Structure 1
Amino acid sequence: MTDRAESVLVATDSTAGLVSVVVGGQMFGVPVLCVQDVIAQTVINRVPLSPPEVAGSLNLRGRIVTAIDMRCRLRMSPREPDVGFMNVIVEHNGELYALLVDDVGDVLWLEPTEYEAGPVTLSPHWRAVCSGLYRLQGELLLVLNIEQVLTLSGTTSLAA
């Protein structure tokens, strides 16, 4: 990710910190304050009857962590079985979740004045899980809204 190194700025009180991740060739940003850890591929145990986005669970230093397949969550094609992934561990409402992503890049410190709302051309599904974007050199960094990412299909009412 050396071509993105120019986007890394010195952190100040007026910058937004995002951990850059890649899912299906698209770059996303996870708010750095939500990220607890980044770990390499690890064993994930399937959870019966879970929503399709839930890849399973993993053990992280004695804690059970729910693993979310971000390719499935973002309605992308599945990862090939022999292709590795990374786990971005986030905390939400006291629970830990592992976001399964293709790759993890740098922590980017970006100016809030460069932040833009998501374009209307963005798919409604992606707009629902992204709070906005930053334009980097030649590509877009979509900012993930962790609360919305973790609102899974299995948590909605079946009566709806």
Structure 2
Amino acid sequence: MSDPAVSQSGHRELVTFRVGNQDFCIDIMLVREIRGWTPATILPHAPSYVLGVINLRGSVVPIVDLSARLGLQASVPDDRHVIVIAVIENQTVGFLVNSVSDIISIDQMEIQGTPDVTSETTRAFIEGVIVTEERMLRVIDIKTVLPKSVEKRLRDE
């Protein structure tokens, strides 16, 4: 079965963003919206990378600090940060990022595998790497970034 995010021409559209001083991207088909930072309601005993939940038009949406989840320095959210709202299967999740850069269209063949010198965790989170003249983008496998409880719920559905 082919990936629905890859067009028949083999092109894929990705939303690029910054987390800390690093460049990442995810498939545009997973992105529902991009919104400004909204303070989250803290949930007791949530993992340290889960900032809490927000009300998104009547739905309770967990917010994941993508920087902390990827093992970078935890973010201190402010008005310049944005939340990328993504829908993974039937779960809506917000990911806190520093900024959204642009949308790119690339050939699937341009995505290089994650180098073998990285850790298992890195290979689990990173689907591949795109090298351009200006920067190096990591393609995130957003399902693996979800908190374990959300991943389990998705598997059980």
* Identical residues among aligned pairs (%): 27
Q: Which of 93, 97, 102 does residue 93 from structure 2 map onto?
A: 97
Greater length-normalized contact order (CA 8 Å, ≥ 6 residues apart): 1
Deviations 1:43-71 (A, max 9, x none): 21111111112110011111111100111
Contact 1:51 1:154 in 2 (8 A): no
Q: How many pairs does the alignment contain?
A: 146
Q: Hey, which bits of structure 1, 4+ residues long, moved more than 3 A?
A: 80-84, 121-124, 151-156
2:131 aligns to what? Answer: 135
**Cα separation, partners in 2 of 1:122 and 1:26, compared to 1, 3 Å:** farther
Partner of 2:117: 121
TM-score normalised by the chain length of structure 2: 0.83
- Superposed counterparts of 1:10-159, under 5 Å: 13-80=9-76, 84-152=80-148
TM-score normalized with structure 1 length: 0.82
In the superposition, relative to structure 1, how do residues 151 and 78 fare at CA in structure 2: closer, same or farther (>3 Å)? closer
Equivalent pair of 1:18/1:32 in contact (CA under 8 Å): yes
Question: Aligned-pair RMSD on alpha carbons?
Answer: 2.2
Structure 2 unaligned segments of length 5 or more: list them: 1-6, 153-157
Separation (CA, whole Å) in 2 of partners of 1:125 and 1:106 = 27
Q: Could you list the per-position Cα deviations for residues 49-106 of structure 1 after superposition, in whole angstroms to 9, with x for gaps in the alignment? A: 1111211001111111110011110111122465731100001231110000011011
Aligned AA (2:135):
E
Name structure 1 gaps, 5 residues minimum: 1-10
